[in-house]
Homo-oligomer: A and B are copies of this chain.
Amino acid sequence: MTGRIRMGLIGGGPGSFIGPVHRIAAELDGEIALVAGSFSRDAARSAEAGRGYGIDPDRAYPSVEAMFAAEAARADGIQFVTIASPNFHHLPAARAAIAAGVAVMSDKPMTATLAEARELAGLLEDAPVPYGLTYTYSGYPLVREMRERVAAGAIGAVRKVVVEYNQGWLAGAGAGKQAEWRLDPARSGEGGCIADIGVHAFHLAEFVTGLRVDRINADLGTVVPGRLLDDDCQMFLRFAGGARGLLMASQVMTGEGNDLAIRIYGETGALRWSQENPNRFEWLRGDGGMEIVRAADPGLSAVSMRGTRLPGGHPEGLLESLANLYRDFAMQLRGEPGSLVPGAEDGLRGMALVATAVTASREGRGWVDFTG
């Protein structure tokens, strides 16, 4: 593991789904190694998880504080930490990392509330460390390719964006452990679906178009009786400059898996991409023709190809997309330019979206300004 960047993990205890996902993605390209963690606030469970990850038993810590203290004392201490604990824990975890001068890679949303996000942004201003947010889908090579093409004018000025994120796993009344904290305002924050997946869709729309939303008209609803948070969202968007947009996000679309999709229409062309079949997008050309752009096709941009490990026709998936964020973050840590990992500004916009949409929808305000 010579020369690998050393990573700690907060969260990802026994039975966790997201912990191993971070481990796989971070280590995929051989540039990063998970070496320490505060996997659970229960010492025994943290130790158990550490054994599962195959790390040195001494480095499976019973608390975030213990981890940062012990690691700071080592010559080979962690260089960054990934925060994979529930939303309400994102701020304290990040605060501890910043205090220790350790870089942060955080699950989205940035924090549980907008106020917390602003606090965190302030901390990062006062004591800067590299800070990344795993808007995972922005790591797909073809998402990045679309971004490049829009920026290069391949579809002309953007006029309309339709972004949607359709899931069905909360369509039933009971939905298991993953659902539990997400449906609890105390742990998840004031947004349900909007905070869990709506912000992914929102980030994707801004990431690919390079535009910024400045007005929204939100319609958040709770479909399954008894819930305290939204589980179905629809939103009109208006981008600075006038482009129109539509955002859908739902967790009660029975039968849907993880259907994040975006369509961008410009004056002279359009792009369509769907996460469930991520290795291609459609390019509707201004001359009436339609092309299928495939991962690893000749002529793709350097930024797309740098996230592509296999030749055309050999599918890559979500783990590789997340690995691309880690690879970019490693570039950042090494002081190299070009990283596309979302940061605090993106995090703040997402939190502002949740706060603005929840309030505006609840109060039936119709169109409201969005300042991000």
- Is the pair B234, A221 in contact by a Cβ cutoff of 8 Å? no
Tell me whether A185 is interfacial, beta carbon within 8 Å: no
Tell me whether A312 is interfacial, beta carbon within 8 Å: yes
Q: B159, B234, B284, B309: which contacts A21 (Cβ < 8 A)?
A: B309
Given known contacts A217-B217, A221-B244, is B313 in contact with A259 (CB within 8 Å)? yes
Q: B53, B160, B312: which contacts A253 (Cβ < 8 A)?
A: B160
Q: In the complex, what's the smallest C-beta–C-beta distance from A59 to chain B, in angstroms?
A: 11
Report how far A133 CA is from B29 CA in the complex, Å: 23
Main SS of chain A's interface residues?
A: loop
- Is the pair A315, B313 in contact by a Cβ cutoff of 8 Å? no
Q: B160, B294, B297, B315: which contacts A278 (Cβ < 8 A)?
A: B315
- Is the pair B315, A250 in contact by a Cβ cutoff of 8 Å? no
- Is the pair A21, B310 in contact by a Cβ cutoff of 8 Å? yes
Tell me whether A206 is interfacial, beta carbon within 8 Å: no
Q: Which residues of B contact A311 (CB under 8 A)?
A: 17, 169, 257-258
Q: Which residues of B contact A291 (CB under 8 A)?
A: 289-292
Q: In the complex, what's the smallest C-beta–C-beta distance from A354 to chain B, in angstroms?
A: 19
- Is the pair A315, B254 in contact by a Cβ cutoff of 8 Å? no
Residue from A21, A234, A286 having most chain B Cβ neighbours under 10 A:
A234
- Contact indicator per residue, chain A 278-307, by CB within 8 Å of chain B (1) or not (0): 110010111111111110111100000000
- Is the pair A309, B316 in contact by a Cβ cutoff of 8 Å? no
- Is the pair B277, A256 in contact by a Cβ cutoff of 8 Å? no
- Is the pair B309, A24 in contact by a Cβ cutoff of 8 Å? yes
Report how far A371 CA is from B141 CA in the complex, Å: 45
Q: In the complex, what's the smallest C-beta–C-beta distance from A225 to chain B, in angstroms?
A: 10
A selection of 12 A-B contacts at a CB cut-off of 8 Å is: A160-B253, A217-B219, A234-B244, A254-B266, A255-B269, A255-B285, A259-B313, A282-B292, A288-B297, A316-B318, A366-B366, A366-B367
Which A residues contact B (CB, under 8 angstroms)?
A: 1-4, 17, 20-21, 23-24, 27-30, 51-57, 155-156, 159-160, 162, 167-169, 171, 217, 219, 221, 223, 232, 234, 236, 244, 246, 248, 250, 252-259, 263, 265-270, 275-279, 282, 284-294, 296-299, 309-320, 364-367
